[in-house]
Amino acid sequence: MSIRIFTIPGYSHLYRSLLRFCDIGSREARELVYMLNTANLDSFRYAYPYGHMRESGYVAFMNSLEKLRRRPYRTEVQLHKALAALKRNIIPDALTAEQREAVARLQYLMRSLELSFYKTFGMEIDDILTVYAACEARLVPDEWEPAVCLMRDCMLLPSA
């Protein structure tokens, strides 16, 4: 299994997106993102015991989240794709109880996004009619990723 380490700028995008798209407070979002970061790092250590990485402490991580002020994702689809990528890069056997709670919260948020999307658009968030396949499976979004949720709306946008 290949585990990828996500960067603090990516977590900053994720943090801003949780505030924008989910019913979650600032403090809870910061704590969740920090725990998911440590879960990702511990998973990397578990998968690659001789690998090398640099870890930020709690205070440095929180300061970076605020200082970087990265923009939130444009759509719920981007947020869901990022959460799915993060979930795939976490190994349950490597986690502490607190990290397991954070992963359970991540799964809850993903299900909430899926339900909300279905209620709004009448289809699954990863349906071929959505832009899900056009979004990258990472925390730092590419500028070219669609700013709409449905592929038909993406096709109607004027190109630059």
Q: How far is CA 124 from CA 71, 80, 105, 120, 149, in A?
A: 25, 11, 20, 10, 11
- 3-state secondary structure at position 150: strand
The domains of the chain are located at 8-156
Alpha-carbon gap, residue 142 to 70, rounded angstroms: 13
DSSP state of 130: B
| Predicted confidence (pLDDT) per residue in 41-52, tens digit | 999 999 999 888
- pLDDT tens digits for 82-118? 999 999 999 999 999 999 999 999 999 999 999 999 9
Interval 21-33: pLDDT, tens: 999 999 999 999 9
CB 130 within 8 A of CB 77: yes
